């Protein structure tokens, strides 16, 4: 995970996982609507996942 990808996940969580698929994007959008911190945590986990 690059520094800029992590920074983008902190600033704009849903947009950072846009290339990972529709499901990941929707999950991060819903978590971000519930609160910024859950959205950021989910985005960082998805971006840092080596299997995708």
Q: What angle do CA 29, 32, 33 make, to 5 degrees?
A: 85
CA proximity to 36, closest of 3, 13, 8: 13
Burial category of 1 from C-beta neighbours within 10 Å (exposed 0-12, middle 13-18, buried 19 and up): exposed
**Main-chain phi, psi angles of 51, to 5 degrees:** -80, -10
Q: What is the pLDDT of residues 1-52, one digit of tens each?
A: 688 989 999 999 999 999 998 999 999 999 999 999 999 999 999 999 888 6
**And the tokens for 35?**
């609160």
What's the pTM? 0.88
pLDDT at 38: 96
pLDDT at 43: 95
pLDDT at 1: 61
């Amino acid at each position: 995970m690059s520094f800029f990808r992590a920074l983008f996940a902190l600033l704009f969580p849903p947009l950072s996982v846009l290339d990972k698929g529709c499901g990941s994007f929707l999950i991060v959008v819903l978590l971000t609507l519930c609160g910024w911190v859950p959205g950021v945590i989910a985005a960082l986990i998805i971006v840092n996942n080596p299997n995708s």
